[in-house]
Structure 1
Amino acid sequence: MQNVTKQANREGVVSKLGVIGIYKGKDKQTGSPLYANIPFVAYNTATEFIKPNTKMMLVGRLNSYVKDDGSRYGKLVVQLQVNSAYPIATSQDVTVSDDDLPF
């Protein structure tokens, strides 16, 4: 998750806009990771849990609409509307000592 911006409108509704990268696998020729970048919007309490550059699980709905961009058919916009967000712990976030082991 990157490029997260937080804003509030006149009615006090807080929103966060950003882009999430969804891992699609590796490029067959270069071996580098491939991502699909999907914009998202979150409102009010869901915004409190969204942190930039953090692995997260986002729960919500995928919306699409046509934005008038002056062309004949407009531009299709696909966006995730986030209802809740949960950070995901990775092995780098967890430290285990000998005292934690049962044997």
Structure 2
Amino acid sequence: MDINQVTVTGRIMNNVTKRADKDGVVIKLGTIGIYKGKDKQTGEPLYANIPFMAYNTATEFIKPNTKMMLVGRLNSYTKTDGSPYGRLVVQLQVNSAYPIATSQDVNVSDDDLPF
């Protein structure tokens, strides 16, 4: 097991882009919104929006506005933005992606019940 392994669940935002690098490796870049709870004053839901990068077969399952579980590792780098120290960027490198079924995705009829 990798020490730097994280698992997150949330909703894939609509900003997903797909491309291939110079070696033909398929890459998807996007953001996953992770529910943090409700704002104490307004009662509105709060989300942490975490950028991710997925490669190869993991990209097949990642679709915008889908509830997902992403497994991978954290990666960070400093992006030069003109300030003296740059800006720290933390990103999830996705190794595996799993769609999560919600009650809206599942249709059950009386014929499906065992009794």
Q: TM-score, normalised by structure 2?
A: 0.84
Alpha-carbon distance in 2 for matches of 1:64, 1:10: 22
Counterpart among 20, 23, 29 of residue 11 in structure 1: 23
| Residue of structure 1 equivalent to 2:52 | 40
The alignment partner of 1:78 has SS state of: strand
Cα displacement (A) at 1:102: 2.6
Alpha-carbon distance in 2 for matches of 1:94, 1:5: 28
Counterpart among 18, 27, 40 of residue 28 in structure 1: 40
Q: TM-score, normalised by structure 1?
A: 0.93
CA RMSD of aligned residues (A): 1.0
Cα displacement (A) at 1:81: 0.4
Cα displacement (A) at 1:56: 0.6
Matches within 5 A, 1:59-98: 59-98=71-110
Aligned length: 103
Give unmatched runs, 5+ long, in structure 2. Answer: 1-11
Give unmatched runs, 5+ long, in structure 1. Answer: none
Q: Give the percent of matched residue pairs that are identical in Structure 1 and Structure 2.
A: 85
| Residue of structure 1 equivalent to 2:67 | 55
